[in-house]
């Protein structure tokens, strides 16, 4: 059964390459500690989380290398576009993420940056393991075959 899209949730940025490069094990919703100009810039719909990742440092979870452009109507107190942003998760979730990264060699990858129903900026993060080259080839093969199959079924009626 297909998942229904909620019209109140607005996606700002999506990391589409993450599902290709990583084998996603578990997903989680995290809040972001943002400044006012960052929120306004996100509402304009311009952000990039393609090359970003999350890291546990000093008992806190940080989003590193994400790009939120400066707010166009901002003044001299505008934010730095590539600053580290704190991710807000519960202690239990933080401990689970830290343990998976430490012991199992997994990575915390951001999948999607969006505003939820209440208008609060959230980041969907995933606990993922990097795919090997042959796994990526297999993914491409499956995707091409499913496209071909859909095209054939469409032609047959």
Q: What tens digit of pLDDT does each residue of 119-137 get? A: 888 999 988 887 788 878 9
Confidence at 116, pLDDT banded by 50, 70, 90: confident
Long-range pairs, 113-116, Cβ under 8 A, ≥24: 113/11, 113/12, 113/13, 113/14, 113/42, 113/47, 113/49, 113/66, 114/9, 114/10, 114/11, 114/12, 115/9, 115/10, 115/12, 115/42, 115/43, 116/8, 116/9
pLDDT band at 81; cut points 50, 70, 90: confident
Output the pLDDT for position 147.
Answer: 92
Sign of the torsion angle spanned by Cα atoms 120, 69, 74, 12? negative
Model confidence band, residue 1 (pLDDT cutoffs 50, 70, 90) = very low
Superfamily of domain 10-131: Small protein B (2.40.280.10)
What SS3 class is residue 82? coil
User: With pLDDT > 70 as the criterion, what percentage of the chain qualifies?
Assistant: 95
pLDDT of residue 155: 86
Domain ranges of the chain: 10-131
> How much is the pLDDT for 4?
52
CB 71, CB 77: distance < 8 Å: no
What average pLDDT score do residues 89-110 get? Answer: 87
Residue 132's pLDDT is: 80
Give me the mean pLDDT over the 3-22 stretch: 76
Phi and psi at 20, nearest 5°, equal -80, -45
Q: What average pLDDT is seen over the chain?
A: 84
**C-alpha span between 9 and 27 (Å, rounded):** 17
**Distance between CA 81 and CA 89 in Å, rounded?**
23
């Amino acid at each position: 059964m297909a998942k229904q899209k909620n019209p109140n949730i607005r996606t700002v940025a999506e990391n589409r390459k993450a599902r290709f490069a990583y084998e996603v094990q578990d997903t989680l919703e995290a809040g972001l500690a943002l400044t006012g100009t960052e929120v306004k810039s996100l509402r304009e719909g311009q952000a990039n989380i393609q090359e970003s990742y999350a890291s546990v440092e000093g008992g806190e979870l940080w989003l590193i290398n994400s790009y939120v452009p400066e707010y166009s109507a901002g003044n001299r107190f505008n934010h730095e576009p590539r600053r580290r942003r704190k991710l807000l998760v519960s202690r239990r979730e933080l401990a689970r993420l830290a343990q998976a990264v430490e012991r199992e060699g997994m990575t915390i990858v951001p999948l999607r940056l969006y505003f939820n129903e209440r208008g609060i900026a959230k980041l969907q993060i995933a606990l993922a393991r990097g795919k090997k080259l042959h796994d990526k080839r297999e993914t491409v093969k499956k995707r091409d075959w499913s496209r071909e199959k859909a095209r054939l079924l469409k032609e047959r009626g």
